[in-house]
Amino acid sequence: MADHNPDSDSTPRTLLRRVLDTADPRTPRRPRSARAGSCALGTLMWLWNLRGTGLERLRCLGARRALLETASPRKLSGQTRTIARGRSHGARSVGRSAHIQASGHLEEQTPRTLLKNILLTAPESSILMPESVVKPVPAPQAVQPSRQESSCGSLELQLPELEPPTTLAPGLLAPGRRKQRLRLSVFQQGVDQGLSLSQEPQGNADASSLTRSLNLTFATPLQPQSVQRPGLARRPPARRAVDVGAFLRDLRDTSLAPPNIVLEDTQPFSQPMVGSPNVYHSLPCTPHTGAEDAEQAAGRKTQSSGPGLQKNSPGKPAQFLAGEAEEVNAFALGFLSTSSGVSGEDEVEPLHDGVEEAEKKMEEEGVSVSEMEATGAQGPSRVEEAEGHTEVTEAEGSQGTAEADGPGASSGDEDASGRAASPESASSTPESLQARRHHQFLEPAPAPGAAVLSSEPAEPLLVRHPPRPRTTGPRPRQDPHKAGLSHYVKLFSFYAKMPMERKALEMVEKCLDKYFQHLCDDLEVFAAHAGRKTVKPEDLELLMRRQGLVTDQVSLHVLVERHLPLEYRQLLIPCAYSGNSVFPAQ
């Protein structure tokens, strides 16, 4: 019953109107229903053709309408719905349109509203094809013409036609569970064939089919999209089971490494507060703490000895001591502390060659230093330092606020304790040493450190000796004047890489002695020249300039960067930190 003319002039609007006028699947009237069915089918196909936007197809559609009178209204409606789903505007069911069209006043409606009505009146029972009409896929489109053609035949033909997996809908025709599962499988097939999953949820946006659609959608979320688009395939990550055994083994291996190194290396921001041992104390590594404390103690000491530098009452030896003692103190501090003395000794020791004399010499130095200090002006500060050191080793934050023991007593105690020390990691040693040097560098009496730095610019300050086993023995008396130089002599012999005569080493010691004396004299004179009583870094820079280490091309900061580790550089070279704070303060 082709009411419409297959000829041209049939706009979608007119066609729709005709469809709605003629189709009414719900009416009990047989012929009408049949007609409705046929009309529904026709509308279905027509709507499908709408997608294809081909009027020729419309005509074909119309032509085939008449062939479908045998189709059951239900099935037709289902089919209608099914195919209608595939329609571009998400048309739910032609049946609905049939319903609506019964209302009658369709003449004024636009195709849009007509289709809307169709959608609204679609029966809820069928799920129809999940393929969304909204997003026409070329494949389904390609399929549907064939389907349409096949639908020319019996309706039954259409069912199997619909089932081909190009679209998901075919499997969803029947509402049975079995069919549901079928649908699922069909859906999966469809997915395999490269349908975009997005179509399905849209197609199933229908309220009735929502749950089912949900089931369907959740079924295979991770399926690889398609063979056609391998790039989008999401493969599940290949997961290996955690090898607990290997993990534990690794743990054990890493734990064997000395924790000090780890702790020291992992110190991201060494608090640049020179005067605060708290940070150092916070470190769980006591040797490291001890080293730091030694630094601070040395720093404090240098401060106190700064003025001592100026007074010539102790005479040159005292001056030299002040200069040398800075260095020595750094080492001796290790000896003079209790628990950290252990580390200190160890720290200092590894720096020397593995000569047992080194220990004794250092101890001697410690003793001699303490002796010197008992006599010299640095006594109280020294003691204070030692106390501070011990306190620090006791993990307290006070800086030299403790009462002063007798230096002899302290040295005696600490020597004994120092000897009982256990080997310490070598890494802490160079750090501590450099820390001390650096502090001396920083403090008003930076002479020795600077001298060392300036005199040994070629020698890297990072000396990492393996920890030496401790040996106990008597402390031979040493000339206090040369007390602090044995360390440098040892360094010298180490870097010489060849055996050296004792006489040669003695000469080296003498030269070092003279050198340091000169150095301190110069520093003092420079300070006096500038009308000051305190030696400042500017004096040191002048000295280095005279030595030729600092030139117009190479500044002091450059040397600091080259030869000092980062922690000391932070303390020396002012750097701006967040919050407009510059450290160290100018």
Partner 1 sequence: MEEEAETEEQQRFSYQQRLKAAVHYTVGCLCEEVALDKEMQFSKQTIAAISELTFRQCENFAKDLEMFARHAKRTTINTEDVKLLARRSNSLLKYITDKSEEIAQINLERKAQKKKKSEDGSKNSRQPAEAGVVESEN
Per DSSP, what are the bridge partners of residue 576? Answer: 582
Q: Judged by CB under 8 A, does residue 529 bind partner 1?
A: yes
Token output for 281 = 């104390």
How many Å apart are CA 76 and CA 447, to the nearest integer?
105
CB of 290 to partner 1, least distance (A): 38
Cβ-based nearer residue to partner 1, 112 or 546: 546
CB of 447 to partner 1, least distance (A): 16
> H or E stretch including 581?
strand 581-583
CB of 446 to partner 1, least distance (A): 16
Where does this chain touch partner 1 (CB under 8 A) — which range of 125-133, 196-204, 316-324, 524-532?
Answer: 524-532
- CA nearest 291: which of 426, 133, 106? 426
209-95-185 Cα angle (round to 5): 35
What is the per-residue DSSP string for 415-481? HHHHHTPPP--TTHHHHHHHHHHHHHHHSS--HHHHHHHHH-SSS-S---PPPPPP---------GG
Q: Which residues contact residue 118 at a Cβ distance below 8 angstroms, ignoring those fewer than 6 apart? A: 20, 43, 47, 84, 91, 92, 93, 94, 96, 97, 100
Where does this chain touch partner 1 (CB under 8 A) — which range of 166-174, 274-282, 447-455, 537-545?
Answer: 537-545
How many Å apart are CA 214 and CA 209, to the nearest integer?
8
Phi, psi of 288 (to 5 degrees): -60, -45
Where does this chain touch partner 1 (CB under 8 A) — which range of 193-201, 365-373, 475-483, 530-538?
Answer: 530-538
Cβ-based nearer residue to partner 1, 298 or 309: 309
Of 36, 526, 570, 571, the residue at the interface with partner 1 (CB under 8 A) is: 526
Cβ-based nearer residue to partner 1, 581 or 586: 586
Place of tokens 């009409």: 133
How many Å apart are CA 70 and CA 325, to the nearest integer?
116
Q: Which residues contact residue 356 at a Cβ distance below 8 angstroms, ignoring those fewer than 6 apart? A: 471, 473
Q: Which of residues 539-568 bind partner 1 (CB under 8 A)?
A: 539, 542, 545-546
Q: Judged by CB under 8 A, does residue 316 bind partner 1?
A: no
CB of 311 to partner 1, least distance (A): 19
DSSP assigned state of 545? H
Where does this chain touch partner 1 (CB under 8 A) — which range of 33-41, 99-107, 405-413, 521-529?
Answer: 521-529
CB of 428 to partner 1, least distance (A): 38
How many Å apart are CA 560 and CA 575, to the nearest integer?
14
CB of 542 to partner 1, least distance (A): 5
Q: Judged by CB under 8 A, does residue 525 bind partner 1?
A: yes
Where does this chain touch partner 1 (CB under 8 A) — which range of 24-32, 203-211, 280-288, 528-536?
Answer: 528-536
CB of 523 to partner 1, least distance (A): 12
CB of 528 to partner 1, least distance (A): 9
For the window 253-272, what string marks contact with partner 1 as x by the rule CB under 8 A?
--------------------
Of 250, 265, 538, 561, the residue at the interface with partner 1 (CB under 8 A) is: 538
Cβ-based nearer residue to partner 1, 135 or 536: 536
Of 531, 566, 576, 585, the residue at the interface with partner 1 (CB under 8 A) is: 531
CB of 541 to partner 1, least distance (A): 9
Question: How many residues belong to the site for partner 1 (CB under 8 A)?
Answer: 10
Cβ-based nearer residue to partner 1, 173 or 543: 543
> H or E stretch including 190?
helix 177-192
For the window 416-435, what string marks contact with partner 1 as x by the rule CB under 8 A?
--------------------
Q: What interhelical angle do 12-22 and 94-103 show, nearest 10? A: 80
Cβ-based nearer residue to partner 1, 68 or 542: 542
Where does this chain touch partner 1 (CB under 8 A) — which range of 72-80, 302-310, 342-350, 523-531?
Answer: 523-531
For the window 476-515, what string marks contact with partner 1 as x by the rule CB under 8 A?
----------------------------------------
What is the per-residue DSSP string for 222-268? SS---SS-GGG--PPP--PPP-HHHHHHHHHHHHHS-HHHHHHHT--
Where does this chain touch partner 1 (CB under 8 A) — which range of 80-88, 215-223, 243-251, 536-544?
Answer: 536-544
The CA-to-CA distance between both ends of the chain, in Å, stands at 101
CB of 511 to partner 1, least distance (A): 16
Is 144 exposed, middle or buried, given 0-12, 13-18 or 19+ CB atoms closer than 10 A? buried
CB of 579 to partner 1, least distance (A): 32
Cβ-based nearer residue to partner 1, 120 or 559: 559
CB of 530 to partner 1, least distance (A): 5
How many Å apart are CA 219 and CA 253, to the nearest integer?
47
CB of 316 to partner 1, least distance (A): 15
CB of 543 to partner 1, least distance (A): 10
How many Å apart are CA 172 and CA 60, to the nearest integer?
27
Cβ-based nearer residue to partner 1, 325 or 523: 523
CB of 534 to partner 1, least distance (A): 14
Cβ-based nearer residue to partner 1, 481 or 545: 545
Q: Are 466 and 326 in contact (CB under 8 A)?
A: no
Of 263, 530, 554, 559, the residue at the interface with partner 1 (CB under 8 A) is: 530
267-271-274 Cα angle (round to 5): 130
Where does this chain touch partner 1 (CB under 8 A) — which range of 112-120, 173-181, 210-218, 527-535?
Answer: 527-535
How many Å apart are CA 4 and CA 62, to the nearest integer?
7
Place of tokens 């609506």: 100
- φ/ψ bin of 546: left (φ > 0), alpha (ψ from -120 to 50), beta (otherwise): alpha
Which positions lie near partner 1, rule CB under 8 A?
Answer: 525-526, 529-531, 538-539, 542, 545-546
